[in-house]
Every structure is written in C-alpha cells, then in structure tokens.
Structure 1
Amino acid sequence: MADAVVVGAGPNGLVAANVLADAGWDVEVLEAQPEPGGAVRSDRGVHPDFVSDRCSAFYPLGVASPAMRALELERHGLRWRRAPAVLAHPLPDGRCAVLEHDRDATAEALDGFGAGDGEAWLRLCRLWDDIGEDVLRALLSPFPPVRATVPLAVRARRAGGLRVLRSLLAPVRTFGEQEFAGPGGPLLLAGSALHTDMFPETTAGSVFGWLLAMVGQTYGWPVPEGGAGELTAALVRRLESRGGRVRCGVPVASVVVRGGRALGVRTASGEAVRAVKGVVADVSAPVLYGGLVDWADLPSTLRADLRRFEWDHATFKVDWALSGPIPWASPGARRAGTVHLSPGMDAMTRYSADLATGRVPAEPFALLGQMTTADPTRSPAGTESVWAYTHVPHRVKGDAGPDGITGRWDEHDRAAMATRLEDTVERLAPGFRALILDRRVTAPPDFQDHNASLPNGALNGGTALLHQQLVFRPVPGLGRAETPVAGLYLASASAHPGGGVHGACGANAARAALAHASPAGRLLTPTLHALTRFLAP
C-alpha cells in the first residue's frame, strides 16, 4: 500500500513521483522493464568501450523546464556536459550554419549566408529575452495556463503583440523567408522544428523551431555526463532520498477501478497494490484507455475519440562506434553536439511529402549526435560515440528511394535503411564509413520492445500538430492530467504539453493529484468532470 502508485519509471513518471514525495506522500513506482528510465537510458551494447544512448540524448528542455530545474538534480549526482557548439547544419557546398553558445558568434556566422542575417538572428534573441521564458512557462503549465498567461500577454504586447504572434504561428519556411536573406538562419529553425513533427509548411512550426533554437542559444543542448541513464539515476536517487521506491520488472496489468475511482493497480503476476490517494500513469493514452483501464469504466465517447488519436512518425536509428571523429567537410560541424543532415529547405519539404504519402524518404532528414564531442567520457580518447535517426511512416506504402524498402523491417529493410543513413553522412563527411568499428540498428518495431510507450519509435507520445495539442491532447477535453476516472492521472507525453524530456507532464499530473487530494479537491473533481463532459459530450 502507498499513497500513490506511479505506473512507469520514465522521466515523467519519476518527476511525478518526486513531486509527490516532496509533498510527503508515500510513493511506489512500478516499471515493467528491468531498469528505470523509459526513453532515457544508455548502455554499452554497440561496443564495450562506448556508451550509447538508447533513445533520447540531448536535453535542452531538461535544463530549461521549470519542473526539472526545481528538482535540483545536480545535488544528486547529475553533471551536464556541452559540446563546443550547440548545433550545426552542414551543406553540400561546404558552408555550415552553426548555433554557437554565444549569440553574437552565431549572428556573425549567419551574416556569411546573407547580408543582415546576423541582425535578424539577434532580433529573435531579443524576442526571447522579452517573452521566451514566459512562453516556455505557459507551454509547460497545465492547460489553461492562467498564471503564466497574464505576464506573457503583457510582455508580448510590448514586444509586438499580434504581429509577433502571427509570425510565430507561420510555417517555418514562410518565417525564414521573411526574416532572413540566406539559408543559414532558416535551416537552424526548420531543423529544430523537425525535432517535433512540424514540417517546413506546418502552421505554428516557427514557434517550435524558435523555441528550441533559443533554448539552445540560452542554455545549450546539454547531455548528462556518462550517458542518458545518469539523468534517470539522479531522478531515482532523489526519489529514494525522500522515501520513494522504484520496483523494476513489475509490469502493471490493470488499474483497479471501483465506483468510478482508481483504488490501485494489479500487476501481471496478480499482486494488488493499493493506492490510497491516487494512481499516476506514465503510459501512452492508448495503453491506458481500453488497456490498463477497461472500457466499461470509461465514457463511451472516449473510445471513438481514441480511434482518432494520431501518433507522431515512426523512427529508424543507427548507433555507431567510430575509431575517430567524423571527418566533416564543413569544419563547423566538427564542434557541434547535434548535427542536422539535409541539403536544404526544399529537401526537407520532399522528405515531409514522402512521410505524408506513406513512402520511405529517398533523402532522409537526419538528426545526428556526436556524443563524445559533447561528453568525453562516452568513449576512449580520439574516438567518437555517434547516433543518427530519421523518421519513416508507420505504414509503409512504398519506397521513394531505389532500395525497395517494404516496411516489414526484415534484414533487407534494416540494411538498406542503415546504408541510406550512412550515405547521407558520407556525402557530407567523406571517409566516415572507414571509421566504423561497430554499429547497432534500431528499426521501428524494436523501440516498443524496450519501451511500450514508443510504438514504432513514436518519440513524442502522439503528434505535436495543433489538432492534438492543448485542449485536444490526447483527446478533446480539458487538456489536463485528470482522466475520466477519479484519482487516476495521465503523466506521459500523451498528455499536455507533449513530448520532450521536460518533466512537465509528470509534474502537472502530480500537482493535479495533490490538488484533488486536498479539501478543496472535493469540489474540484466533480467540477472538472462536469466541464469535460460539457466540452466533449
């Protein structure tokens, strides 16, 4: 028995557990996998001398998010490391857009792409100075973000009001063409937007691209020293220091519901674990609704709504152990922790069109991480631990390239797609292949084997497009952590505000549980449920 049972020891589950433990609750976390972390784990599975991150690797939102900052994980052994440069986007002609740690250095380099582009970048930085932290706070707060909205509205009006809002809601291609003369600045923004599933022509892509780029300009895109798993280890140590418990290898089979209220969970082995005050679920919405919670305990409309739940794109990833640093033709790429690979904006649009039509992109946009460049502890001196991933359709209708990739992800598909990624790197870094000591291929079906919340490698817990954000996440309703079952809270990236290792989904769920357990919560619970039924009858 515990005050709260948290299902899933991913970052959101562990953040939720820490917030509840800070409030004096007795918390037990149950994790199906043999180790905690979810998508925030590392291993030596590629080469025994190399640390490789299984999924996520760089954590700009981890250092910028108020929820994560409040935990002060540095006091529990976490050490952040940063590459000499934040981000690079090399081009076939040898030029390279580089996001430096110093904004003036970024601006100076961008002037080489187009006259006045440095000043355009500094304008975006000043806009961040004016409203950036308020935007971040509003995006990561429970919806509606009442407390964060008022100061944001005041500062946004001073910064330009509706004109600024119009610009940030524009597709990133449009925004880039309006603000910059050359391709450097737009590529930094568009590549950052593609970290979600915001394509160059997607409405509101600019705000996501600007947000990630400015967080990088302000905080960098750091990595945990020793591997992604060290972030998880710090979260676990902090929780245990406050009396919380994490039990791994304990899959939860169901949430026990009586009279419309969650009373606890039942594990796959049949063990009943009582939750006196609440159950917090760090699992995807499709796993929770109709899975852990029977449809008989849920509103009939939810089943129809969930059939319209849309995942973000599937992922294909390769990890490499290299005998030396990648020999980029563009020197700027050698200093960056993260490198975006695409010949340009038009190529990003073709890649987006291939995904939209169910075809494996012929020329994939890839994100590449130079982990030893960011953290020298990841591999022996003079070597490099590297990964790259790209997106592919969940249901492959065809291959836009020449290899006949079918989407079965058999040995042929895996080898062909890995070669396609390696070709992408080789074109920009001749000699790359000669450095490969070992590699590991993670095809879409493999992601779910080590994290049930990542079907086919859908990294964001569901699409980040506007039709599934705010009051529409994960289904039409309040966009909050509360669920139709009293005492049950959704803490995964399927809940608002969505994907990214920022801990906000977990923190929001924990605060909702605390609020509903308070004396005022006796009024809050029925009021929210009534409002949900009104908004989504």
Structure 2
Amino acid sequence: MGSDETADAVVIGAGPNGLVAANLLAQTGWDVLVLEAAREPGGAVRTAELAAPGYRADRCSAFYPLGAVSPVIAGLGLGEHGLRWRRAPEVLAHVLPDGRAALISQDLDRTAASLDSFAAGDGDAWRTEFALWRRIREPLLDALLRPFPPVRAASRLLRALGPADAVRFARTAAMTARRFTEERFQGEGARVLVAGNAMHSGLGPDQSASALFGWLLSMVGQDAGFPVPEGGAGNLTAALVARLRAHGGRIHCGRPAAKILHARGTAVGVRDGDGTPIRARRAVLADTSAPHLYRDLVGVEHLPRRLAADLDSFEWDHATLKIDWALDGPVPWETRDAAGAGTVHLGTDLDGMSEHGAALATGRDPERPLLLAGQMTTVDPTRSPRGTETLWAYTRLPRGLGWSADETRRRVERIEQEVERHAPGFRNRVIGRAVSGPRELEDLDRNLDEGAINAGTAAIYQQLVFRPVPGLGRADTVLDRLFLAGASAHPGGAVHGAPGAGAARAALVRNGMGGAWYRAGVDRLHHWLYD
C-alpha cells in the first residue's frame, strides 16, 4: 500500500460504539487505531459549556438507562477508569396538559401510588409488569443486545417465560403502545408513561413494536433509573478512552477516513482525509451510518446491485431540535413530582402523541409536540453552580423542511411557552440558551443526519434481519474483514455498546480458528441475498 502505517484493526469513528469495539479488540492484544474526524472523541456523547460559563451541558445524549443495564457496558468495568453514575430523586415525570403528572420512581410504591391516582388498580397492574421484567431481565437484555441471532439468550428467555407466556410476550412485542396500555391499564397516567418512553425510540404510540420499546424503557427506569455520568456525558467517553489507552489502543482525532481500501473483495485498510493509507492487517470496523459506509467510504460501484437498491430504501429516523438552558434557579414547576425528576415529558397526552406521530409521518410540523426534557443539575449537582439548573429539552421534527433561522426561533418560542405554562416564571430564570437544530447536530456528528439520533428508524421493518437493509442482521458486510459497528446495525440506537460489540466479536471470529469457513458461509448468504 505504499505506507508503513499499519494496525491490526482500524476503527472509523470514536463514538461510543467505535470505542466499545476498539476496547474489545485491544483487550485481546490487537493493535487498534481509531480515526475520528472531530477534534475530540465521543460522537454524540460529549459535554460542553453551551448556554453559559459554568453550566455543563451534554451536546446530544444525556441519560443512559440502557447503558446502565447493558451487559456490554458492564463487562468493560468503566468504574475503574473514572465513570460514576448519578441518579435523580425520581426517574421520570410526564406532565399532562391539565397539570397532573404521572411518575416513575425507583421506589415502586411511589410509582404505584402515582398511577393509582389516575385509576385504582393501575398500581398493581404496573407491579405485575415489573414482576415480569425481573423474571426475564437478564435473558431479555442478552437477546436484545447480543449479536443476531441470539440463540442461547432466546433459549434462556423461553425457559424463563414458558411456552404459553412466550407466545403472549411475542404478541406484546409486536403491539402498538396504545393497544398495549389500553389492555393493561385503565388510567391515563400509566398509558402516557409507556407511550412517552416509546417515543424515545422515534416510534409513535400507534406504530407496531412501540409497546416493546415503551415497556422496556419504563421497566428499566423502574429498575435502574435513568442514570447520567457524573460531570457530564463526556466522562463516559473519557472512561472508554482511558480503558482503550490502558490496553495500548490509539486514537487520532481530527483525522477523518475518506475511503475503505479493498482488493479482491477484502478490506485491507483505510485512506484518511489527507490521502495517507493505513494498512489494516485483520479488520476495518466502521462506527458510521450504513449509507455513509456503503455510498461514501466503499462506493456504490463496488456493491452488489440489489444491495445498492436496498440502500435507496434505507429510512432515517426523524429530525431533532434541542435547546439547552442555563437557569439561575430550579425550574419552578407547578407540580411537585416534576421538580424531583431527572427526565420530564410534557406538552401532550396520549392522543396528542398520536397526532405528533401522524404529523411527522406526513411531513408536517406538529402542533402539539411531545417535549422530552432533562434537569441535569437535579440529577448531578456538579453540572452547574449551587442553586442553579442546567436544563435541556428536545422534540422530533419532520425531515427535509430546511428549518431557517426564523422558523427555528419560532419553534424555540413555542417550546419555551409550553415550559412556562407548567412552570410559571421559568423564562425569568433563563440566563443563557443554546439551540441545536438538525443542521447543527449533523455538523457535530455526521451520523446524526438532520439530527437523526437513532441512525435509522426503529420501525419493525428496519430491525433485526432488516437492519440496515434486508440481510443477516449482523455486523458483517459484503466486503470480507469490513464490519459495520454503528447504530445503523442491529440492535440500533441508544448508548449500550451493542453494535460495536457485535462488530468486534465478528472480527474476532473471522480472524480465529474456523474464520475462513465462517466467511465462506457469510459470502454464500450474501450471494443468495444480493446477486
């Protein structure tokens, strides 16, 4: 290749999945080089003083419920490298338009009492769901977050459920959040909690599989809370970086990858943005979106015709608008439950969430959007000066609308009016704000295409063997020794490390005993799928 720069593995992108993959390879003794286009690692997991000096805000992701229960993250032992989790007094409050609030607390009795205030008996119904969660927690998380197909985890899950309950759980997994909550609960409180949590995935309450996402996030919140890294999301990145360096891994920031180098159907290295080639002796792993990997880094001309056509059908999730505020005091919520919650949902009820989802599906700006807010100093007092608050909120937007500066200002005004409606005096406490629209989020991290925070829709037709396109549901690509390590791969978005871990495992298998037989099988399946 005309260069002495080599590594066993070149990892493209120092987001959380890229860093997880790099860690898992480096700990086995591989020489790992990570290339990151930005000037600092982390991707969407970074912290900065955005709205005002002394107020530490997370640039994108902030709460990590799935990270806290992920077997992948747990296996890295990041506490030994500086990571500390912090939790709010209460997990989540959903403030309804009439001012009532439904609460998830890690105190199960408090959650049950909140739901019973909406409809007697809903507290016991919630306890029943939580008992199911505790019964299947470990095999379910393994089934969701381990490489596809999760044969062993699925067998353990089946044993934990039994055949009859397994069939019923499969039905639940396919349901809409609306139908699921109508069957399980009588009151609005439990229904908006599950549906609101489903919308973290980008799915509206009337989309198939939204029940599973909403139930999962609700039960994880009840169990482990919605924790944050002490000092900022960037400290999760810092712990991953420290661990990687302790195992000999290298990170080059400000050094983008421009092309995957390949010969005779095998990835052999990467060319960086300056044209310098880097030889990869064993593997190239890409923590990028699937469209960027295949279209830009590999090139459509090198893809099988049917794979190139399938990429044309790849669907991004919705755009995002995020606002960060620096407040000179706590948010003056009218409802006490919201004051102690780290995460707050507000702006609409269940029907309003359905209207929000329908607007996004038809390319319209929602009239009554769901706002998802985070009170970061309430969770972690290190985020801002004593007696103040670092607050953010985001909402999902239709893609492709452009969003001029004037349109963005009008949307910010509407969002602040909604917060003010439930917290009179809020705007008087704002001493600084920072607005990140779709363009700003994409500029921060190319994987956030128009602010698509899940690297592709979570709809059932783009999950499992359909993610990112119809295929194997695995990190393997049509090029030997090239692996997709980003959230466009199974199992998708959120900071749990599973796509990176899946790519690392595939690379290790390919380079281990029987690796040639493994790749031959992959090639046969790809031939069947795409030729």
Could you say which residue in structure 2 is the equivalent of 1:513? 507
Partner of 2:518: 524
Q: 1:494 and 2:488 equivalent?
A: yes
Deviation at 1:159, TM superposition (A): 7.2
Indicate if the aligned counterparts of 2:203 and 2:357 stay in contact, CA closer than 8 A.
Answer: no
Aligned 8 A contact 2:267 2:482 in 1: yes
- Matches of residues 2-401 of structure 1 in structure 2 within 5 Å? 2-157=7-162, 160-395=165-400
- C-alpha distance after superposition, 1:151-197 (max 9, x if no partner): 11121226723223223321111111111111111111001100012
Amino acid at match of 2:427: R
Structure 2: how far apart are the matches of 1:533 and 1:464?
A: 27
Rounded Cα–Cα distance in structure 2 between residues aligned with 1:252 and 1:352: 36
Aligned partners of 2:348, 2:362: CA distance in 1, in Å?
21
> Aligned equivalents of 1:225 and 1:128: distance in 2?
27
SS of 2:315's equivalent in the other structure is coil
For the residue of structure 2 that corresponds to 1:369, the secondary structure is: strand
The CA deviation at 1:371 is 0.3
CA distance in 2, matches of 1:456, 1:443: 8
Instruction: Note if contact 2:348-2:369 (Cα within 8 Å) is conserved in structure 1.
Output: no
Report Cα offsets for 1:461-506 as digits up to 9, x if no partner. Answer: 1000010000010011101000000000000000000000000000
Is the contact made by 2:50 and 2:324 (CA closer than 8 Å) also made in structure 1? no
SS at match of 2:178: helix
Distance 1:257 1:321 in 2: 49
Correspondent of 2:450 among 446, 449, 456? 456
Q: Match for 2:306: what amino acid?
A: T
SS at match of 2:134: helix
Residue 430 of structure 1, CA deviation? 1.3
Shift of 1:30: 0.5
What amino acid does structure 1 have at the position aligned with 2:120? A
TM-score by length of 1: 0.96
Q: Does 1:425 align with 2:419?
A: yes
Deviations 1:66-101 (A, max 9, x none): 111100101100111000001110123332111001
1:356-379 superposed Cα distances (whole Å, 9 cap, x missing partner): 110111111111000000000000
CA drift of 1:329 comes to 1.1
Contact 2:146 2:498 in 1 (8 A): yes
CA distance 1:473–1:373, change in 2 (3 Å): same
Does structure 1 residue 439 correspond to structure 2 residue 439? no
Q: Residues 227-259 of structure 1: CA distance to partner in whole angstroms, max 9, x if unpaired?
A: 110000000000000000111000110010111
Does the aligned pair in 1 maintain the 2:176–2:209 contact within 8 Å? yes
**Contact 2:204/2:356, CA 8 A, preserved across alignment:** no
Q: Secondary structure at the match of 2:323?
A: strand
Report Cα offsets for 1:238-293 as digits up to 9, x if no partner: 00000001110001100101111111100011111111000000010010002100
- Once residues 184 and 493 of structure 2 are traced to their aligned partners in structure 1, the CA distance between those partners, rounded to angstroms, is 28
Shift of 1:343: 2.6
TM-aligned CA deviation for residue 536 of structure 1:
4.6
Tell me, in whole angstroms, the C-alpha distance in 1 between the residues paired with 2:122 and 2:55.
Answer: 39
Cα root mean square deviation, aligned: 1.1
SS at match of 1:290: helix
Look up the equivalent residue of 2:304 and give its one-letter code. P
Corresponding residue to 1:475 among 469, 474, 483: 469
Any idea what the Cα deviations from partners look like across 1:207-235, whole Å, max 9, x if unmatched? 11111111111111100111110000000
How many residues in Structure 1 have an aligned counterpart in Structure 2?
526
SS at match of 1:363: coil
Q: Distance in 1 between matches of 2:466 and 2:522?
A: 15
> Which whole-Å deviations, capped at 9, do the CAs of 1:389-417 have from their partners, x for residues lacking one?
0010112xxxxxxxxxxx33222111101
Distance 1:78 1:283 in 2: 25
Assess if the C-alpha contact under 8 Å between 2:304 and 2:530 holds in 1.
Answer: no
Contact 1:130 1:159 in 2 (8 A): no
SS at 1:47's partner residue? coil
User: Which residue pairs with 2:402 in the alignment?
Assistant: 408
TM-score normalised to structure 2 length: 0.97
Q: Distance in 2 between matches of 1:93 and 1:133?
A: 38
Tell me how far apart the structure 1 counterparts of residues 435 and 305 of structure 2 sit (CA, whole Å). 41
CA distance in 2, matches of 1:535, 1:216: 39
Is the 8 Å Cα contact of residues 201 and 458 (structure 2) preserved in structure 1?
yes
1:255 match: secondary structure: strand
CA distance, structure 1, for counterparts of residue 50 and residue 176 of structure 2: 39
SS at match of 1:426: helix
Runs of 4+ in structure 1 deviating by more than 4 angstroms, as ranges, are none
Q: Deviations over 1:402-448 (max 9, x none)?
A: xxxxx332221111011111112111111111111000111111111
Q: Is the 8 A contact 1:134 1:151 kept in 2?
A: yes
Identity among equivalent pairs (%) = 54
Query: CA separation in 1, counterparts of 2:172 and 2:30?
Result: 45
* Equivalent position amino acid for 1:493 in 2: A
| Residue 301 of structure 1: how far off its partner (Å) | 1.3
The unaligned stretches of length 5 or more in structure 2 are 1-5
Q: Secondary structure at the match of 1:83?
A: coil
Amino acid in structure 2 at the alignment position of 1:478: L
Give, in whole Å, the separation in 1 of the partners of 2:520 and 2:445: 34
